[in-house]
Amino acid sequence: MTAMPFPKKWIPILSFLTVAFVFWLFKPLLPVPTVTWEYPAQAGVGERARIDAGTQEVVAQQEVVVQNTSTSVKEVAQTKDTQMEVVESEEERQKNLRVQVFGPGTPQPVGYQYTKTLVVPRTMEEDTSWIIENFDESETIKHAIYTVDDLDSELHPPKNKGHEVMVYLSYIIDHYHNLSDVNIFMHSHRYAWHNNQLLDLDAVQMVSRLSSERVQREGYMNMRCSWDPGCPSWMHPGTVEEDINKQEETMLAKSWSELFPLDPIPYTLAQPCCAQFAISRDRIRSLPLARYVYYRDWLLRTSLSDYISGRVWEYVWQFVFTGQNIVCPKEHVCLCDGFGVCFGGEEEFNHYAQKNQERISLEEELTAWNGANDAWNAEEERNEPEENRIVKEAPEIGKDLELQGRINALTAWCDAKKQMAKEHGDVAMNRAKEAGRPWKDGDGF
């Protein structure tokens, strides 16, 4: 029986299969280009974790083209209107991945005029004329007012989400290479309950009296000195039961693992509320630009609501800029070294705070007396039956005059002490002494 000839049309197919099999067999032996990140010589386990986290942040949401281990990295990051291209050398890339150590800064020589920028988010309905009226002609204080709900505004964030967080991060990203010495991030209202009471809840006084020297030394400074709310122990990321006053608390653990994937979730996060702070240029630049891009990208992509995503960040800013989960400086030190209101020490400040709280309590008591008196008089005029009356007994006659007299006396005492504290704070040596830092003749604030 004669064997059938091999079909010639199969020859190309079998040849291709043979070549493919040989390539598959020897592929593991071929050299493959790799990218490696070198750790600093002294980096420990925790430091290496931070470096790896930084590596992830650099590549997150960016187009990264790696030619080989000695070529540059090309990053393309989306901004609000245009595409920003940043080309990093190998040396710059390694610098961005090094462990960040937050050390104290050094103020400039006495007499140096610090540049400042006030960064404020606003909606179209919110009035920020107080900024223009008080700082528009200032030679040292600039302002950057972002309108979050107007895409035609000269300054606006890529998306109206996260409350002030989106604006704060966008400003840092857009001005990373052109920052002022001091960068002040505040809300749009001039008067607000979360501003410093000793400065009449007035944002203008806070900005005007802010010590640029303290911002340089600390790197990061909360603009609110009062511990209530926020300190000494406020947010607990492991909490599973929701608190109506801290709705973001149960979301913190997941958000933390997304923002800081290789940093352990802290038991407590604390700083004075409410996301208003000042940062030095050096402290901002101690973190690579890519990290801020990563944080903003998280905000753009997270499924958390506008309100909750903003509240989450309210108690992580201090970790970003200090590496510490709890930043609660003593109130009297913050007021004295930060704003030049110096009572002479913690005991003296506490005495003032006690008297001021007594005044507030008396004012609340007087308000309650006036309300009860008005209700009593109204029911008397209507001849309201006794069983239907809201106020069962007539308020004590003359009590209002007694309360008002005590309030007036305490107000005068508090005002005098506050004025003395400001005058005391005008002396650089007094600020240094109350803050517990060294000072010698010729030193400034």
What type of residue is 249? E
* In a shared domain, residues 154 and 220: yes
Phi, psi of 250 (to 5 degrees): -70, -15
Q: Is residue 59 part of a domain?
A: yes
For the beta sheet containing 116-122, the strands, ordered from the edge strand earlier in sequence to the opposite edge, are 141-147, 116-122, 182-185, 277-280, 220-222
Phi, psi of 72 (to 5 degrees): -85, 165
Contacts (Cβ under 8 Å, ≥6 apart) of 239: 249, 250
Task: Going from the first residue of the chain to its last (445 residues), give the mean pLDDT of each consecutive group of 10, the final group possibly shorter.
Answer: 54 64 53 36 37 38 32 35 42 46 86 97 98 94 97 95 97 98 98 97 98 98 96 79 64 90 92 97 97 97 92 94 96 98 98 97 95 84 79 87 97 98 97 94 87
Contact between residue 263 and residue 161 where contact means Cβ atoms under 8 Å apart: no
Regarding pTM above 0.95, the answer is no
Number of domains present in the structure of the chain = 3
418-422 long-range contacts, CB within 8 A, separation 24+: 418/198, 418/341, 418/352, 421/198, 421/335, 421/336, 421/341, 421/342, 421/343, 421/344, 421/352, 422/340, 422/341
The residue among 234, 236, 272, 232 whose CA lies nearest residue 251 is 236
What type of residue is 292? Y
* In a shared domain, residues 83 and 125: no
Contact between residue 425 and residue 341 where contact means Cβ atoms under 8 Å apart: yes
Contact between residue 164 and residue 140 where contact means Cβ atoms under 8 Å apart: no
Q: Is residue 43 part of a domain?
A: no
Contacts (Cβ under 8 Å, ≥6 apart) of 290: 57, 58, 60, 62, 75, 77, 96
Q: Is residue 102 part of a domain?
A: no
* In a shared domain, residues 258 and 353: no
* In a shared domain, residues 229 and 81: no
Predicted pLDDT of residue 7: 58
Residue with tokens 């008591």: 365
Q: Is residue 37 part of a domain?
A: no
Residue with tokens 């050094």: 106
Range of the domain at 359: 346-435
CA-CA-CA-CA torsion sign (230, 231, 237, 241): negative
Predicted pLDDT of residue 118: 99
Predicted pLDDT of residue 332: 98
Q: Is residue 104 part of a domain?
A: no
CA 16 to chain centre: 61
Q: Is residue 9 part of a domain?
A: no
Q: Is residue 338 part of a domain?
A: no
* In a shared domain, residues 284 and 417: no
| Two tokens, residue 103 | 């050390």
* In a shared domain, residues 321 and 418: no
The residue among 69, 65, 57 whose CA lies nearest residue 31 is 69
Residue with tokens 């997941």: 254
* In a shared domain, residues 187 and 303: yes
Contact between residue 216 and residue 343 where contact means Cβ atoms under 8 Å apart: no
Predicted pLDDT of residue 82: 35
* In a shared domain, residues 320 and 350: no
What type of residue is 28? P
* In a shared domain, residues 191 and 273: yes
* In a shared domain, residues 292 and 431: no
Contact between residue 129 and residue 243 where contact means Cβ atoms under 8 Å apart: no
Would you put residue 163 in left (φ > 0), alpha (ψ -120 to 50) or beta?
left
Q: Is residue 38 part of a domain?
A: no
Final residue of a domain: which of 329, 362, 394?
A: 329
List, in sequence order, the alpha helices (H) in 177-232.
Answer: 203-209, 212-218
* In a shared domain, residues 319 and 393: no
Question: DSSP per residue over 323-376, as a string?
Answer: S-SB----HHHHHHHHHS---SSHHHHHHHHHHHHHHHHHHHHHHHHHHHHHHH
